[in-house]
Chains A and B, each alone.
Chain A
Amino acid sequence: MNQTLLLTSGSSLFGLAVKDVAEVLDPRPVYPVPRAPSWVLGAVGRHDRVLPVIDLACLHGTRQGEKGQIVVLDGGRLSLAVTVVHGLTQRGFGMPGALHLPWVVEMFICSRGLAGLIDPGALTDFLKQSLLAARCFFGDSLAAWEGR
């Protein structure tokens, strides 16, 4: 019932409810996206779609380590690059999520330690807000307008 896909990103443990996962992809080339924010690792071709790959490590401020696997979220429209996928675990007692990561809705204890449960909806909202804030990256400064 509380089946969760356990994964490591950088040195942190995370979980995704099984219902939120569409597929785990084997390592494959990730193609960089021009002008993308740093947390967009790139894109992969999956079936008939070009699927964005989000660098989970970058989102929680860890050093970008080796990205082993790609977890495709339910709906097949977004994917997360993670260091390793450990497999399924049963989520037991949970506590409120990490304050500094709004997309982690719950902390739970598993055989590997304390893990954060990712809420894909909250993650998407967080990415949208990050993009809004990053819009300034895509233009020049006022100085350029004034021709300096």
Chain B
Amino acid sequence: MMAQEYKQIFLAESQEHLLNARTWFSVLAGDPQNRQVLDDLFRCLHSIKGMAASLGYRRMADMAHVMEDGLDRLRRSDSLPKEALGQLYRGLDYLDGKLTDAAAGKPDAADGTDGDGSRGATLHALVIRMPGASCCQWLLLLNELMRLGNLEVCRPDPDAIAGGILPQELEVELRGVVDREQIERRCRKIHENLRITDRTKSISMPALSLQQGVGESTVRIATQVLDRLAGLSGELLTVRHRLQEALRLGQPEAIEGSCQQLDHLLAVLRRQVLDARMVPLETITAPLFRQVRESCRVTGKKIRLNLIGTEVRLDRAILEALSEPLLHMVRNAVDHGIEDSGTITIAARRDHDRITLDVSDDGRGFDMTELVRRARQEGLLPPSREVKLDADQMLKVLCLPGFTTSAAITETSGRGIGMDVVRHTVDKLGGSLEILSGPGEGASFRFILPLTVAILPVLLVESAGRTLGLPLMWIEKTMEVPRQALHPANGGYVADLGPRQLPVFPLAGLLGLSPASKPCASTVVCELRGGHAGLAVDTIIGQKEVYVKPLLFPLDCIPGLTGSTILGDGRVIFLLDPGSLLSSQHGVVFQGETSCI
């Protein structure tokens, strides 16, 4: 395996182990005598140590080793002092930081990862037998070998041994500046009947050099999923043969049957592939504990981070994009929301084809007077008029580039860049951002996001001769409204729907197109989810699941567009974000070129 590929696996697996370790630590804090959790923690750290050592990340391996020792002492003392827990948390943060450095390709002089660490080292290929040894002894042996050098090959895998599968013999390739005798002497201390034989004599192998930086992001996929994908490819081949045969023989019924089967298999394949892209939300929320702890340490505040429902799974692309905005919001809550002590809550739940993510704190919330005052001070609001901001307008002001109500700029927030980034990211993902809290209620934001950005169910509509796609996640229902029930109002219409009234905006108008000139007795209206507004279109073509193509520059700068797709006939269709369209057309607009929203 290429060193770079191995590094990718190391990074992905270590992140997962760290994530698990944090979970186990939080359990252990409440139940220090939980033997099972201690063992699980031990395995996590052991796996990180093994992989880090084999790749030459000596500092990471050492830290994991120290933490293992600490855990071992705790296991024997059956208690978990608060200081020990704090030290272990700091250890995890250290590992987290080193992993981030490794992912960014930062060289570390203390690590062997700059390619020089193994210079002058010898590779020993050994077979080690320890008849009757326990799991603990095998693990101690591995520890000892890792202390002696880089364990480049280990069969069976250390994880398997840590999981309780004990080998008859251990095959290792150890690179280090030690000789064969030293290895034997050190290892024999673990088991007196230990026997070491050379598989080959010292081999001169090129040093394991790692390229700096990480290429494309990776997703770990269970082998069962890969097996299912392989099975599906086989089935697709069989159907193709059947189809070819039916075509050769000119059997329309058989062709029809094969096409149906093909449809079914493609649907299954798509589902499987999408499933493989899904990653739990906790992958990006767990590191926030560290952020909060670090901020508390600096500011002296007492803040609790409460995560609810973060096991929900989202598309990896969404998670990657969401990581930075979440960090911004947590930083804002710590620095400006909560004064002395409080709780930040991140609650996620799946709602059919979308995820609702609430980020809230019980701090002082938004100071509306200050918000309006600062908006005026920045020249973002007219100075004379009495202005009362509702939640939507408040969000728009908060998300203005460079806007901040914070007088103090800390190391991490208060520069007015956070909420702008948050809003932009959510728009690009085809999601929405709302403020839930009112004045004096703390700050509470709601993200609504699609589960996946790869394939989206959309409603194809026609407006002013253009075919356009509206993601179904935004559509409540479609209806036909008689012309006489539409009354002009404030640049759009109000539809009189009996018990209620619905603001309706012609889609053609929002897109800057000339509406169709033909007179219609009725108007087709797509009511947006939540029932806040409707879009009038010329025709509804129907629903379709489309593969979303990302927008390239400069199309990605156009408000209201969320993606594009290519239909079966080759036509390029643009997908719209109704919320962004409406807000950019009918939202708050201020003076000055760069402050328009």
A33 touching B574, Cβ below 8 Å: yes
Q: B252 at interface (Cβ–Cβ under 8 A)?
A: no
A7-58 contacts to B (CB < 8 Å): 29, 31-37, 40, 42-45, 48-52, 54
Given contacts A40-B555, A45-B566, contact A35 B560 (CB under 8 A): yes
A44 touching B572, Cβ below 8 Å: yes
What residues of B have a CB within 8 angstroms of the CB of A93 in the complex? none
A146 touching B382, Cβ below 8 Å: yes
Q: Is the interface of B mostly helix, strand, loop or mixed?
A: loop
In the complex the two chains form, what is the Cα distance from A43 to B468 in whole Å?
A: 14
B572 touching A77, Cβ below 8 Å: no
In the complex the two chains form, what is the Cα distance from A145 to B570 in whole Å?
A: 41
What residues of A have a CB within 8 angstroms of the CB of B591 in the complex? 142
What residues of B have a CB within 8 angstroms of the CB of A44 in the complex? 572
What residues of B have a CB within 8 angstroms of the CB of A147 in the complex? 490
Q: List chain A positions with a Cβ less than 8 A from chain B.
A: 29, 31-37, 40, 42-45, 48-52, 54, 77-78, 124, 127-128, 131-133, 135-136, 138-142, 144-147
What residues of B have a CB within 8 angstroms of the CB of A144 in the complex? 491, 586, 589
A138 touching B586, Cβ below 8 Å: no
B214-268 contacts to A (CB < 8 Å): none
Q: B588 at interface (Cβ–Cβ under 8 A)?
A: yes
A52 touching B594, Cβ below 8 Å: no
What residues of A have a CB within 8 angstroms of the CB of B511 in the complex? 34-35
Q: CB within 8 A of B555: which of A43, A124, A128, A146? A: A43
- Most central of A29, A45, A132 by chain B CB within 10 Å: A45
Can you name the residue of chain A whose Cβ is closest to the Cβ of B592? A136
Q: Mark B200-216, 1 if CB is under 8 A from A, else 0.
A: 00000000000000000
B553 touching A78, Cβ below 8 Å: yes
In the complex the two chains form, what is the Cα distance from A1 to B574 in whole Å?
A: 41
Q: CB within 8 A of A138: which of B491, B552, B584, B594? A: B584
- Most central of A36, A50, A52, A146 by chain B CB within 10 Å: A50
Q: Closest 4 interchain pairs by CB?
A: A31-B572, A139-B589, A34-B511, A50-B564
What residues of B have a CB within 8 angstroms of the CB of A77 in the complex? 552-553
Can you name the residue of chain B whose Cβ is closest to the Cβ of A44? B572
Can you name the residue of chain B whose Cβ is closest to the Cβ of A77? B552
B552-573 contacts to A (CB < 8 Å): 552-555, 557-561, 564-566, 570-573
Q: CB within 8 A of B558: which of A33, A132, A136? A: A33
Can you name the residue of chain A whose Cβ is closest to the Cβ of B597? A139
B589 touching A50, Cβ below 8 Å: no
Q: CB within 8 A of B512: which of A35, A45, A131? A: A35
A50 touching B561, Cβ below 8 Å: no
Q: B551 at interface (Cβ–Cβ under 8 A)?
A: yes
Given contacts A135-B594, A139-B596, A140-B585, contact A50 B468 (CB under 8 A): no
Q: Mark B3-33, 1 if CB is under 8 A from A, else 0.
A: 0000000000000000000000000000000
Q: B549 at interface (Cβ–Cβ under 8 A)?
A: yes
Q: B466 at interface (Cβ–Cβ under 8 A)?
A: yes
B492 vs chain A, min Cβ distance (A): 12
Can you name the residue of chain B whose Cβ is closest to the Cβ of A51? B552
A147 vs chain B, min Cβ distance (A): 8
B597 vs chain A, min Cβ distance (A): 6
- Give me 12 A-to-B residue pairs in the complex whose CB atoms sit less than 8 angstroms apart, sorted by A's number: A33-B558, A44-B572, A45-B572, A49-B549, A49-B552, A124-B553, A128-B553, A128-B554, A131-B554, A133-B593, A135-B593, A140-B587
B564 touching A139, Cβ below 8 Å: no
What residues of B have a CB within 8 angstroms of the CB of A124 in the complex? 553
A50 touching B552, Cβ below 8 Å: yes
Q: CB within 8 A of B468: which of A34, A45, A142? A: A34
B590 touching A142, Cβ below 8 Å: yes
- Most central of B511, B574, B590 by chain A CB within 10 Å: B574
Q: B541 at interface (Cβ–Cβ under 8 A)?
A: no
Q: Mark B487-522, 1 if CB is under 8 A from A, else 0.
A: 000110000000000000000000111000000000
B466 touching A34, Cβ below 8 Å: yes
Given contacts A32-B466, A139-B584, A146-B385, contact A52 B593 (CB under 8 A): no
What residues of A have a CB within 8 angstroms of the CB of B555 in the complex? 33, 36, 40, 43, 50, 52
In the complex the two chains form, what is the Cα distance from A145 to B393 in whole Å?
A: 10
Q: CB within 8 A of A34: which of B512, B549, B570, B593? A: B512
B596 touching A34, Cβ below 8 Å: no
Q: B174 at interface (Cβ–Cβ under 8 A)?
A: no
What residues of B have a CB within 8 angstroms of the CB of A54 in the complex? 554
A50 touching B594, Cβ below 8 Å: no
Q: B576 at interface (Cβ–Cβ under 8 A)?
A: yes
A50 touching B587, Cβ below 8 Å: no
What residues of A have a CB within 8 angstroms of the CB of B588 in the complex? 145
What residues of A have a CB within 8 angstroms of the CB of B571 in the complex? 29, 31
In the complex the two chains form, what is the Cα distance from A103 to B597 in whole Å?
A: 28
In the complex the two chains form, what is the Cα distance from A45 to B468 in whole Å?
A: 16
What residues of B have a CB within 8 angstroms of the CB of A135 in the complex? 593-594, 596
A43 touching B589, Cβ below 8 Å: no
In the complex the two chains form, what is the Cα distance from A113 to B597 in whole Å?
A: 45
In the complex the two chains form, what is the Cα distance from A121 to B266 in whole Å?
A: 41
Given contacts A44-B572, A50-B566, A140-B586, contact A34 B561 (CB under 8 A): yes
In the complex the two chains form, what is the Cα distance from A128 to B557 in whole Å?
A: 9
In the complex the two chains form, what is the Cα distance from A45 to B568 in whole Å?
A: 11
What residues of B have a CB within 8 angstroms of the CB of A52 in the complex? 552-555
Can you name the residue of chain B whose Cβ is closest to the Cβ of A76? B552
B380 vs chain A, min Cβ distance (A): 11
What residues of A have a CB within 8 angstroms of the CB of B570 in the complex? 29, 45
A8 vs chain B, min Cβ distance (A): 24
B466 touching A127, Cβ below 8 Å: no
In the complex the two chains form, what is the Cα distance from A82 to B468 in whole Å?
A: 27
In the complex the two chains form, what is the Cα distance from A78 to B593 in whole Å?
A: 26
Given contacts A36-B558, A43-B572, A131-B554, contact A145 B590 (CB under 8 A): yes
Given contacts A33-B555, A35-B559, A127-B554, contact A50 B572 (CB under 8 A): yes
In the complex the two chains form, what is the Cα distance from A60 to B565 in whole Å?
A: 30
A96 vs chain B, min Cβ distance (A): 27
Q: CB within 8 A of B513: which of A34, A43, A128, A145? A: A34
A123 vs chain B, min Cβ distance (A): 11
In the complex the two chains form, what is the Cα distance from A36 to B596 in whole Å?
A: 16
In the complex the two chains form, what is the Cα distance from A40 to B574 in whole Å?
A: 14
